[in-house]
Chain A
Amino acid sequence: MAAAAIGFRGERPSADLPRFQRGAYAPEVVERVAASWRKLREDERRSVVGASLVAADLARLGAPTEILGAAARLVDDEIRHVEICSRVLDALGAPSPEGALPDLTDPLCGAQAVEARCARMLLAGFAVGEPMSAACFAAARRRAREPLIHWALTELLRDEARHGPFGIRAGAWVVRSWTSEQRRALWPECVDEMERFERALGGPMPASTAKQAATSKGEDESRRQLEDLGLLAPGPNCEAAIAGITRLVLPPLAALGIVHGLT
């Protein structure tokens, strides 16, 4: 479907993308970057499914229209992210068709009572994963020198920064009558989500990374080009995600009584 035919409620990607400076990068570097964007696009399509499920669950639970509207905006954002990824792939010269997604296997989406599932997806899912995503997008954007990638990361980051607070706000409504024990029972699932995300980044990183292996000049140049294109190694990606947990994830979870003893 042509991008112009999609009726987005929220912000649409700007029509004019920065021109990709293909000649500045080695072909194998561009292919690695394209592969990462294909993978991100698949993630974003999964998020369309997850956000739609949350929106439907909130409607079934009788959530206020203000929360339902925010949930609808979330779905809209995720669809827009799929489009952004496709436009980056086109600009990279690596267009690729999208296929059907495999079945969702995430435990957060598992069949159970609607209220419990919704609370898990909002508070152990969105409130944890989205801020970690935002922290990584921000770290990549700081290092990206290629205008096309900087544009795309800016578009994604603008929304991601809003999605974590949505998870907290909507989740707070869902668990408004829960006991402290019920709330604290969500904490292990929050940790599972943190660890899943960390593994997806190539972590967990060892406790000390002070001793770095020597790299060749060619490897250094390849690494520099990848960073110019916003593709970070597992180390800096995990570092950003960990910082995001400290700054963006734990304080609101503590305020909701999901985690106790935060010092």
Chain B
Amino acid sequence: MNPTNVRTLLLSLGLATGIASSVNGCSSQSGSGPPGGAGGSQNTGGFCGNCMGQNLAMGGASGHPDASAEASTGAGGETPPVDAEAGGG
């Protein structure tokens, strides 16, 4: 199965160094999220928030509450047009 998120991708490639803190904090729920939870991150500061089930449930008008601060680094890439209301993947 192809990796579906950054964390599982890097773990599958043996490149976990950069995500060591996340691995330590969330090792029991590696790569998991709420069932169908594709509604957007609550921006809790990383994967730990996702492991704690704080993503919103599918179908809700969830979006990304802090997208303006998260979406662009000003140095890297621009987030493509993103449907802030999309609930499902």
Contacts and interface: CB of A to CB of B under 8 A. Distances in A.
- The judgment on whether A and B are partners is yes
A213 B58 contact: yes
B86 A233 contact: yes
Nearest to B89: A235
Interface string B51-89: 000000011001110011111111111111111111011
Interface in A13-68: 32-33, 35-37, 39-40, 42-44, 46-47, 49-50, 53-54
A75 interface: no
B71 A43 contact: yes
Interface stretch (A4-12, A172-180, A200-208): A200-208
A25 to B, nearest CB: 14
A261 B77 contact: no
A40 B72 CA distance: 9
B79 to A, nearest CB: 4
B30 to A, nearest CB: 8
B82 A237 contact: yes
A131 interface: yes
B33 A193 contact: no
A238 B33 CA distance: 14
Task: Identify whether the interface residues of B are mostly helix, strand, loop, or mixed.
Answer: loop
B75 A109 contact: yes
Given A233-B88, A261-B14, A106 B1 contact: no
Contacts of B18: 187-188, 190-192, 259
A32 B33 contact: no
B46 interface: yes
A190 B6 CA distance: 11
B59 to A, nearest CB: 7
Contacts of A132: 76-77
B34 interface: yes
Interface string A220-263: 00010010001111111111001001100010000000010111
A212 B15 contact: no
B6 A234 contact: no
Given A206-B38, A207-B5, A215 B82 contact: no
A243 to B, nearest CB: 8
A46 B72 contact: yes
A217 interface: no
A71 interface: no
Interface of A: 32-33, 35-37, 39-40, 42-44, 46-47, 49-50, 53-54, 81, 102, 104-106, 108-109, 120-122, 124-126, 128-134, 136-137, 140, 160, 163, 187-188, 190-209, 211-213, 215, 223, 226, 230-239, 242, 245-246, 250, 259, 261-263
Interface of B: 1-10, 13-15, 17-19, 30-41, 43, 46-47, 50, 58-59, 62-64, 67-86, 88-89
23 contacts: A32-B85, A39-B79, A47-B74, A47-B78, A106-B73, A129-B76, A132-B77, A197-B76, A197-B79, A200-B82, A201-B82, A202-B39, A202-B83, A203-B5, A205-B89, A206-B34, A206-B36, A242-B4, A242-B5, A242-B6, A245-B9, A262-B13, A262-B15
